[in-house]
Amino acid sequence: MIDLKDRSERIKAKAVELGFLACGVAQATFLEDEAPRLEQWLRAGKNGDMEYMGNHFDMRLDPRKIVPGAKSVISLAYNYYTEPKQLDPAAPKLSTYAYGRDYHKVVKQQLKPLMLFITEQFGEVAMRCFTDSAPVMEKAWAQKAGIGWRGKHTNVIRQGNGSFFFLCEIILDLELAPDAPATDHCGTCRRCIDACPTDAITPYGVDGSKCISYYTIELRDAIPTDAGDFRNWAFGCDICQQVCPWNRFSTPHQEPDFNPKPELMALSADEWHGMTEVLFDELFQGSPVKRTKYAGLRRNLEYLRSGVQHRSTEDTGME
């Protein structure tokens, strides 16, 4: 008789050995509860110009359309919490996840030895891995696999770790013992909702078309003049995570590729606003910031200087 729990435990132990923060398992089934939520979100236009969010609708909801015959979804978390901060408090800000090398490449590289281990342990297995790189509803799978719950800001929160981690998945046709889904521990807290300067967050929902991360990363056109106060965020935004009480449990990552360049952290506000394309290419080689390109970053910086970006950090509810 096959011991499914033993299979799962061996995979989890290997994941921890490889440096993953957490690993859980869910049964590969149709995400019945997610279907109406996703459809409603898209119909309300909350994806903004992110038209790709409406592509492969059926595939997003059923992992068996990605890996035929899939029986399990392994969900994993990879810590990126970084303690070093930008030295000039007036400097335009980067989301913490963008301090180091592009996480897509780093995390996927960590998944490869885990997949090799699965093959060595259990024979030929059909499987594919993903790191925010395919139509996979990673937050839903993380909750189902017990990694953490989706907070009111919709980021996945894990007790004892907070939310500063990347999610990734292995979809495979190997039967494993599923974990119990994570339960919600937000309670009556609404700090993330109250702190969002563009009112993008409602309880357990985000209007992507209002989010600072959307404006500074995803939007390809000019930022609307009425987009609101970005609180000096030039690429991404961490406000909803910074104010979350659970992130007092965040601990520094152990991934060298996520360490920021000292010269990036030392940039003054004037140096940011005077950045040339040559310096941009040098500072952000291999970085997620490359996604917005030099022209996009210049657009963001110009918006920050447009006259609505001079409120203090006290207004965000942060210390």
CB 78, CB 249: distance < 8 Å? no
C-alpha–C-alpha distance, residues 134 and 20, integer Å: 20
93-124 in b/e form (b: 16+ CB < 10 A) is bbbbbbbbbbbeebbbebbeebbebbeeebee
The backbone region for 211, taken as left when phi is positive above 0, alpha when psi lies in -120 to 50, beta otherwise, is: beta
Is 184 catalytic? The answer is no
293-317 in b/e form (b: 16+ CB < 10 A) is ebebbbbbbebbeeeebeeeeeebe
Catalytic residue among 49, 62, 132, 173: 132
C-alpha–C-alpha distance, residues 92 and 90, integer Å: 7
Catalytic residues: 132
